[in-house]
Structure 1
Amino acid sequence: MKQFHSFGWYAARIAPYLPEEAFRPVPSRLFGGLAYMLVLVSSIVTISLFDLHWLWNGLLSVVIGFCFAGLGFLGHEILHGTVVKRAWLRDLLGGIAFLPLCTGPKLWRKWHNATHHVHTQHEELDPDAWPTIKRLAQSRFLRWVYRIPFPIRAAFSFLSLAGMFTVHSLHMLLHFWKDFEKGNRRAVFWQFVLPWSVWIGLLLMIGVEKWLFAFVLPLLIGNTIVMGYISTNHRLNPLVPVNDPLANSLTVIVPKWVDILHFNFSHHTEHHLFPAMSSKYYPLVKQYIKQLRPDRYYEMPMTKALIALWKTPRLYHEQTELIEPREGYVYGTLGYGLNIDDLSHKVKENVIGKMVKEK
């Protein structure tokens, strides 16, 4: 069993080497959001007012989709309190940034800040963790899903990235609804309704065809970009009994210009060490993590991480392995035998077949 440490253990050893300004809000990040908003609004207005060829509308859809994703990354940063500190302003700006992805600030802080960050990769408590073989045994639906051949499931899984963030947000609303106090439920409800009201209102104004280019296609593109990161954040890592960011998180490598556009969202281990720190300083944090525990820090090019996700299953076996129950193929996780340059596997018995017989 590897020795795990909490994120506080690492933070306490790295924080003394960081400049004081690293622990202060960075309001200048809002200029990036303003640029995204100007491009987004201009592109939607152009699609709405002019009868352009579908190819030009398609190109504008791509631009809008990139803006949707960029604003989502900024909203994530704002709602961690790293841009502005006043609660009402944080929620207002965060809500505006997340409006394209149709997620409310109160729900996001409950789901992401207060639950995912506190219980990262915990088998039962992390709402973003993938299921275990135990859950497969308890769920008829999951057993049906895992009868589908792996190549088909892998292809469908990657195609579903185009809608997964929005769908998961709705699932989280239903999941956490009972946890909100009655006084907060009204705000959570309206924060969910308002973004959809804006986009449905746009539909009524400009018609279905233009709306597909102005919102639907950009939403799919924005989801894909955001989920491209989120899917690599933890899904190659093991489930862990201690919230150890070096064990349960992965930093991916992207070109520098992409990091600028996406507010350093690629630095995910760093984010889990210092969630209340502006991502502006995460490259500096990375340097000190590598000095402190170079043997435990995981990073890889994003393309390699996505290929590894494509080739490995998303079902945990004994917390440190990923299993394809149909064929009984077992792969390691990061730190437990996973080699992304040679994705070999062990073979176990047909687990799903055994479970069906037991049922």
Structure 2
Amino acid sequence: MEDFHSYGWYAKRIAKHLPKGVFKPVPKRLWGGLAYLAIVVAGLLLISLFDWHPLIYLPISLVLGASFAGMGFLGHEILHGTVVKKPWIRDLLGAIAFWPLSTGPKLWRKWHNLNHHIHTQHEENDPDSWPTLERLSKSKMVRWIYKLPLFIRAFFAFASLAIQFSAHSLKMFFAYIKDFKPKKQPEVWLQMILPWATWIGLLFLIGWEKWLFAFFLPLLLANLIVMGYISTNHRLNPLVPVNDPLANSLTVTVPKWVDYIHFNFSYHTEHHLFPGMSSKHYPLVKYHIKKMWPERYHEMPIGKALIALWKTPRPYFDNRELIDPSQGSLYGSLGNGLNPEHITIKKQLDD
């Protein structure tokens, strides 16, 4: 796909087919957040106040992890301004929703709303894009890692999903803190420190064993759920010179009940076309995309997308191809020869 179009180009053509009111905030989404918050508070109290066998804590811990992730998905929507518009209420509710993931609202809006959405899959400007082999090869440790067989790297990459969101959030904090005006920096620091202080304080309050079930295991599970989506959003797509959501983004499909509890986070191409629209309306946007540009649109079941991630290497070779440095094998990306149904090596560098 060489004829790229900007997200505005697509949005302009779709918007005229959408009903009035689709860009209004939908505060009813907060009922889902309230339900998640009640579950989290109840779960924390059950673990903290009762001395039960750890096997009884485990299912509570799993529910907490799923709720942490659900709150994060709602926080993402809130901070795009699609739930409430008033800035201070938006940031307050966003901070509460992201509290379990310890990501501040001002950092998230800077990192995600501004940089990621404006520069999606740009080799240098997108903070979430996977780097090229040229950039990775500057590190001796990375060069050593990429000498390992693909399946070993895939195993550790998937295992690392359990910490990737938290680790990347901290990385983004230190990458962007200096970009805030000096008067704003203390607030950004506070938004990062307070959640972590809460969870570390909980450790001293209830002890190691209960804390593992009340926060640590739920955090790992929340990272896995969130990164299960995020890792498929763009990593199978090419790097692009133009922010073209139909080229650089992938929508995954999940059961309807999962879409319901995850606030339609699976509709990622749609989100990049209309980040200021409530995800409630994304099924309608998807209908029009598939009607107008069916050959450009990328979607697949999330399980198939994760398998494709497992079977393909991550560094980019020429922005459109993925390379396994240990073998010199090139794989296509979506729209550039990658067939998720039958993943094969596109060519060898020494051919």
What is the RMSD of the two structures over their aligned residues, measured on CA atoms? 1.1
Contact kept in structure 2, 1:259 and 1:265, CA below 8 Å: yes
Contact kept in structure 2, 1:321 and 1:332, CA below 8 Å: yes
State which drifts further: 137-146 or 16-25.
137-146
The Cα of 1:260 is off from its aligned counterpart by: 0.1
Structure 1 letter corresponding to 2:47: I
The whole-number CA distance in structure 2 between the counterparts of 1:170 and 1:343 is 34
Contact kept in structure 1, 2:115 and 2:126, CA below 8 Å: yes
Q: Which residue is 2:28 aligned to? A: 28
Q: How does 1:184-263 map to 2 (within 5 A)?
A: 184-263=184-263
Deviations 1:234-283 (A, max 9, x none): 00000000000000000000000000000000000000000000000000
Q: Does 1:60 align with 2:60?
A: yes
Q: Which residue is 2:126 aligned to? A: 126
Deviations 1:7-51 (A, max 9, x none): 000000001111222100000000000000001110110011111
Structure 1 letter corresponding to 2:167: V
Q: Which residue is 1:301 aligned to? A: 301
The whole-number CA distance in structure 1 between the counterparts of 2:84 and 2:181 is 25
Q: Which residue is 2:143 aligned to? A: 143
Deviations 1:58-112 (A, max 9, x none): 0000000000000000000000000000000000000000000010000000000
**Inter-CA distance 350–56: structure 2 relative to 1 (3 Å threshold):** farther
Instruction: In structure 2, list runs of 5 or more residues that go unmatched.
Output: none
Structure 2 letter corresponding to 1:216: F
Q: Which residue is 1:116 aligned to? A: 116
Q: Which residue is 1:152 aligned to? A: 152
Q: Post-superposition, which runs of at least 4 consecutive aligned residues in structure 1 deviate over 4 A?
A: none
Q: Which residue is 1:281 aligned to? A: 281
Q: Which residue is 1:269 aligned to? A: 269
The whole-number CA distance in structure 2 between the counterparts of 1:148 and 1:168 is 23
**Inter-CA distance 134–35: structure 2 relative to 1 (3 Å threshold):** same
The whole-number CA distance in structure 1 between the counterparts of 2:52 and 2:347 is 55
Contact kept in structure 1, 2:331 and 2:347, CA below 8 Å: no
Structure 1 letter corresponding to 2:229: Y
The Cα of 1:133 is off from its aligned counterpart by: 1.6
Contact kept in structure 2, 1:327 and 1:350, CA below 8 Å: no
The Cα of 1:142 is off from its aligned counterpart by: 2.0
Contact kept in structure 2, 1:130 and 1:235, CA below 8 Å: yes
Contact kept in structure 2, 1:33 and 1:71, CA below 8 Å: yes
Q: Which residue is 1:3 aligned to? A: 3
**Inter-CA distance 349–297: structure 2 relative to 1 (3 Å threshold):** closer
Contact kept in structure 2, 1:251 and 1:298, CA below 8 Å: yes
Structure 1 letter corresponding to 2:101: L
Contact kept in structure 1, 2:8 and 2:273, CA below 8 Å: yes
Identity %: 64
Contact kept in structure 2, 1:95 and 1:103, CA below 8 Å: yes
Structure 1 letter corresponding to 2:237: N
Q: Which residue is 2:97 aligned to? A: 97
Q: How many residues align?
A: 351
The whole-number CA distance in structure 2 between the counterparts of 1:168 and 1:220 is 14
What secondary structure, in the 3-state scheme, does the structure 2 residue paired with 1:151 have?
Answer: helix
The whole-number CA distance in structure 2 between the counterparts of 1:347 and 1:245 is 27
The Cα of 1:350 is off from its aligned counterpart by: 7.2
What secondary structure, in the 3-state scheme, does the structure 1 residue paired with 2:137 have?
Answer: helix
Q: Does 1:81 align with 2:99?
A: no
What secondary structure, in the 3-state scheme, does the structure 2 residue paired with 1:36 have?
Answer: helix
The Cα of 1:134 is off from its aligned counterpart by: 1.4
The Cα of 1:151 is off from its aligned counterpart by: 1.4
The whole-number CA distance in structure 1 between the counterparts of 2:6 and 2:93 is 31
The whole-number CA distance in structure 2 between the counterparts of 1:142 and 1:161 is 18
The whole-number CA distance in structure 2 between the counterparts of 1:163 and 1:15 is 38
Structure 1 letter corresponding to 2:104: G
The whole-number CA distance in structure 1 between the counterparts of 2:347 and 2:332 is 12
The whole-number CA distance in structure 1 between the counterparts of 2:155 and 2:27 is 40
Contact kept in structure 2, 1:326 and 1:350, CA below 8 Å: no
Structure 1 letter corresponding to 2:158: F
The whole-number CA distance in structure 1 between the counterparts of 2:198 and 2:204 is 10
Structure 2 letter corresponding to 1:197: A
Deviations 1:286-319 (A, max 9, x none): 0000111011000000000000000100000110
The whole-number CA distance in structure 2 between the counterparts of 1:186 and 1:148 is 43
State which drifts further: 128-137 or 319-328.
128-137
Contact kept in structure 1, 2:313 and 2:324, CA below 8 Å: yes
Contact kept in structure 2, 1:33 and 1:97, CA below 8 Å: yes
Structure 2 letter corresponding to 1:280: K
The Cα of 1:117 is off from its aligned counterpart by: 0.2
The whole-number CA distance in structure 2 between the counterparts of 1:311 and 1:151 is 8
What secondary structure, in the 3-state scheme, does the structure 2 residue paired with 1:138 have?
Answer: coil
Q: Which residue is 1:356 aligned to? A: none
TM-score, normalised with respect to structure 1: 0.96
What secondary structure, in the 3-state scheme, does the structure 2 residue paired with 1:275 have?
Answer: coil
Q: Which residue is 1:173 aligned to? A: 173
The Cα of 1:138 is off from its aligned counterpart by: 2.4
Instruction: In structure 1, list runs of 5 or more residues that go unmatched.
Output: 352-359
The whole-number CA distance in structure 1 between the counterparts of 2:130 and 2:350 is 20
The Cα of 1:148 is off from its aligned counterpart by: 2.2
The Cα of 1:201 is off from its aligned counterpart by: 1.3
